[in-house]
Chains A and B, each alone.
Chain A
Amino acid sequence: MSTLEIKDLHVEVETESGPKQILKGVDLVVRSGEVHAIMGPNGSGKSTMAYSIAGHPKYTITQGSVKLDGVELTGLSVDERAKAGLFLAMQYPIEVPGVSVANFLRTAKTALDGEAPKVRTWVKDVNAALDRLGLDATFSSRSLNEGFSGGEKKRNEIVQLELLNPKFAILDETDSGLDIDALRIVSEGVNRYTSQGDRGVLLITHYTRILNYIKPDFVHVFVDGRVVAEGGPELAENLEVEGYDKFLKLAGV
């Protein structure tokens, strides 16, 4: 049983006109086996939360804490956070020309496990994971994210999720830009991951569409850097009908 505990999280981002506060005190607890949907309008701070937890240098945590099984993540480097069990599926995965998907996956797996994966089973595992996401084996020889379509990038993120199998995964708008088939394939990948029963997911999304495929246990509504409403799946259904307006008004934005 693992726990990801976010407490009173305040985050700033550096802008041309000085530091700007984005997160204004976020509290959230994710336990293994749970799927939490984080919903909110553009600019509400959803992605900022994801990137600051993962340790992106652009964001500064000014107050609060993020603990994974009691280990304070905010004091750790980006790679140490990953080793602690955190994974971030990015909205815009970064191109790394000349580094093949296969090389990248092997290097990451080796770094996380502290030893190189067994050659014979690893190649099989990689190809099987690619196949499950509808990607053929030649995909692994391509340069990481370079020239990938939007859908391929997202599928590749989920391939990594399945192969690296972290304790907690933050999925940042993994649904954006996907057509209905890709959305289904990607969602199935996430569901395979959660079906292990002891993994936690923070699913960040702007739309309720992906929630038809991935059923959240909890829904949190983000407005202006805070959680303004929390509930079960019915809260998402409510948003589907009423939109964010009510919450924006409540928050006085």
Chain B
Amino acid sequence: MSALQAATETVASHLHPTPSFDLADHPLPTGKEEVWRFTPLARLKPLLTGEFCDAFLDWQDNIPSTVIRGEITLAEAAELGVPAPMDRIAAMAVDKAKDAVLIDVPRGAEIAEPIVISLRGPGADATAFGQFVFKIGAHSSATIVLRHTGSVRYGASVSVLVGEEAKLNFVSLQDWTDDAVHAGQHSFRIGRGAQVKSVTASLGGSLIRLMETASFDGPGGELEQFGVYFVDAGQHVEHRLFVDHNQPNTASNVDYRGALQGKGAQAVWVGDVLIRKVAENISTYESNKNLVLTDGCRAESVPNLEIETGEIQGAGHSSTTGRFDDEQLFYLRSRGIPEAEARRLVVYGFFTDIIRRIGIAEIEERLMEALEKELEQVL
């Protein structure tokens, strides 16, 4: 395990458990732990125990010939610098998946067409784990979409290693049917001067719980993280973000927005940002907004900033959870727009504000379609 241990950098933040590749370091949670306290663990059980996980996801892609697809061992993945699992499900995914799928965008490659990898679950009773490593070569540019459809209980470890000066647009679309369970970790390592835009859109599923981490391998890296989620009756959607400003002159901007409607709809957003002592001249802002459309929903929104140096350009966060803004509705209605339509317009604007920044027509259309469906239910 020496290679793995060497690759495991301890995070000083008190907000996070110690990352580790060793499953034994991630005991079965009881639900009392800070990082698990919002999550309905019963629905996650097969992913926590790793039992009967022999299913596979159907795979389709349009990977061009310039991009290499291969398989690597855990040791090779660690050698590449894959971040260690932060929780038991990510550790289980690494443990059970054994080999990782490697998608390697070579140095300097400019991939104009979005690379779309579609994973389809075989059914709600199946359990599967997956491990992905995306290696984005220095000075390359690419757009990658990881799209999840169908149903399954799925535990995943997704690592995205972005080389120097590379430009990456990464979309993870959770477009599951309503009985799917999906949990795991998505991690970015951002090279010197690299620019990463990520979009996480969670539309379906019974339970989605993603730990999204980012750290920097050199100065000057920029991260923009956008998130969109629609949570309906009985659904639990949880995004836990951790941006580790461990290099100077880096920038991060996080903006996650969700709408909740229906009995028992629950959203959790935790946004942690750590600004280390070395991280001078950085800027960071994180924002989470929840629109609560009906009674019986619950939204948790927890931004955390840990600052170990004052020599920064700026750091801030905001979190709002609420019903419609009366002033917005009044303004629209004072122009003759009926109440129901004014509400739809506000929700539409709330999300298109994010969706329009994705820059991939196909994904924008899919999200707008999902948004339209969501709006039909808004009264």
Q: Which residues of A contact B (CB under 8 A)?
A: 54-57, 77-79, 81-83, 87-88, 90, 93-99, 103-104, 107-108, 111-112, 143-144, 160, 164
A-B contact pairs, 7 of them (CB 8 A): A79-B336, A82-B336, A90-B334, A94-B325, A94-B330, A111-B335, A143-B353
Output the nearest chain A residue to B342 by Cβ-Cβ distance.
Answer: A79
B338 within 8 Å of A by Cβ?
yes
B328's contact among A90, A94, A111, by CB below 8 Å, is which? A94
User: Which 3 residue pairs spanning A and B have beta carbons closest together?
Assistant: A98-B349, A98-B353, A99-B349
Assuming A82-B335, A90-B331, is B341 touching A111 (CB within 8 A)? yes
Known: A57-B326, A97-B353, A99-B345. A111 touches B336 (CB 8 A): yes
Cα(A90)–Cα(B330), bound, Å: 11
B327 within 8 A of partner (CB): yes
Q: Which residue of B lies closest to A58 (CB)?
A: B326
Residue of B with least CB distance to A92: B327
Query: With A56-B330, A57-B326 as given contacts, are A96 and B336 in contact (CB-CB < 8 Å)?
Result: no
Asked if B330 and A82 make an inter-chain contact with CB atoms under 8 angstroms apart, the answer reads no
Residues of B within 8 A of A81 (CB): 334
State in angstroms the CA–CA spacing of A111 and B335 once bound together.
8
Q: Nearest chain A CB to B245's CB is how many angstroms away?
A: 27
In this assembly, does B312 line the interface, its C-beta being within 8 Å of a C-beta of chain A?
no
The reply to whether A78 and B334 form a contact with Cβ atoms under 8 Å apart is: yes
Known: A79-B336, A108-B336, A111-B336. A96 touches B331 (CB 8 A): yes
Type the 1/0 row for B344-361, where 1 means its CB is closer than 8 Å to any CB of A: 011011111100100000
In the complex, A225 Cα to B85 Cα: how many Å?
A: 66
How many residues does chain B have at the interface if contact means C-beta atoms less than 8 Å apart? 25
- Residues of A near B330 (CB, < 8 A) are 54-57, 78, 94
**B339 within 8 A of partner (CB):** yes
Residues of chain B lying within 8 A (CB to CB) of residue A95: 328
Question: Within the assembled complex, what's the spacing in Å between the Cα atoms of A88 and B331?
Answer: 9
B 292-335 contacts with A by CB, 8 A: 325-328, 330-335
Find B349's partner among A57, A93, A97 (CB 8 Å cutoff).
Answer: A97
Q: Which of B326, B328, B334, B351 has the largest count of A CB atoms less than 10 A from its CB? A: B334
Pair A108/B337 contact, Cβ less than 8 Å: yes
CA distance A103 to B332 in the complex (A): 11
Contact at B337–A98, with CB atoms within 8 Å?
Answer: no
Query: Smallest CB–CB gap between A86 and chain B, Å?
Result: 8
Answer whether A107 and B334 are a contact pair too, CB < 8 Å, given A94-B328, A97-B349, A98-B348.
no
Q: A57-B326, A143-B353 are contacts. A79–B333 as well, Cβ < 8 Å?
A: yes
Q: Which residues on B are within 8 Å of A, measured CB to CB?
A: 325-328, 330-339, 341-342, 345-346, 348-353, 356
What residue in chain B is nearest A105 (Cβ atoms)? B335
Contacts of A87 in B (CB 8 A): 334-335
**A186 vs B325: C-alpha distance when bound (angstroms):** 28
Please pick, from A55, A77, A108, the residue contacting B335 in the complex, using a CB distance under 8 A. A108
CB <8 Å contact, B346 and A99: yes
Q: Nearest-CB distance from A5 to chain B (Å)?
A: 20
Q: Considering only CB atoms, which chain B residue lies closest to A99 in the complex?
A: B349
How many A-B pairs with Cβ below 8 Å?
86
How many Å from the CB of B263 to the closest CB on chain A? 27
CB distance from A50 to the nearest CB of B (A): 10
A233 CA to B348 CA, complexed, in Å: 46
Most chain A CB within 10 A, of B336, B345, B348, is at B336
One of B325, B336, B349, B351 near A164 (C-beta < 8 A): B336
Q: Shortest beta-carbon distance, A117 to chain B, in Å? A: 13
With known contacts A99-B346, A143-B349, A54–B334 Cβ distance under 8 A: yes
Partner of B332, one of A54, A56, A96: A96
CA distance A107 to B351 in the complex (A): 18
Contacts of B341 in A (CB 8 A): 107, 111
With A98-B352, A108-B336 already in contact, 10 other A-B pairs whose C-beta atoms are closer than 8 Å? A55-B330, A56-B330, A79-B333, A79-B336, A81-B334, A82-B334, A107-B332, A111-B337, A160-B335, A164-B336
On whether the beta carbons of B328 and A96 are closer than 8 Å, the reply is yes
Distance, CA A17 to CA B357, complexed state (A): 45
Residue of B nearest to A82 (CB): B336
In the assembled complex, the CB of A193 is this many whole angstroms from the nearest CB of chain B, namely: 15
Q: How far is the CB of A108 from chain B (nearest CB, A)?
A: 4
Nearest A residue to B353 via CB reads A98
Residue of A nearest to B345 (CB): A99
Q: Chain A residue with minimal CB distance to B352?
A: A98
Closest to A97 in B: B353
In the complex the two chains form, what is the Cα distance from A143 to B352 in whole Å?
10
Cα separation A54 to B330 with both chains bound (whole Å): 9
Q: Is the CB of B348 within 8 A of A99?
A: yes
B145 to chain A, nearest CB (A): 22
| Residues of chain B within 8 A of A55, CB atoms compared | 330, 333-334
Q: State how many angstroms separate the Cβ of B163 from the closest Cβ of chain A.
A: 34
Q: Cα distance A47–B316 when bound, in Å?
A: 35
Contact B333 A77 (CB under 8 A): yes
User: What chain A residues lie within 8 Å of B351 (beta carbons)?
Assistant: 98
Known: A98-B348, A98-B349, A99-B345. Contact between A93 and B331, CB under 8 A? Answer: yes
Chain A residues with Cβ under 8 A from B352's Cβ? 98-99
Bound together, the chains give a CA A143 to CA B348 distance in angstroms of: 12
Q: In whole angstroms, how far apart are the Cα atoms of A97 and B357 in the complex?
A: 13
Given the complex of chains A and B, what is the CA–CA distance between A72 and B325 in angstroms?
27
Contacting residues, chain B, for A107 (C-beta < 8 A): 332, 337, 341, 345
| Chain B residue contacts of A77, Cβ below 8 A | 333, 339
Q: Which residue of B lies closest to A107 (CB)?
A: B337
Q: Which residue of A lies closest to B356 (CB)?
A: A98
Residues on B with beta carbons closer than 8 Å to the beta carbon of A104: 332, 335, 345
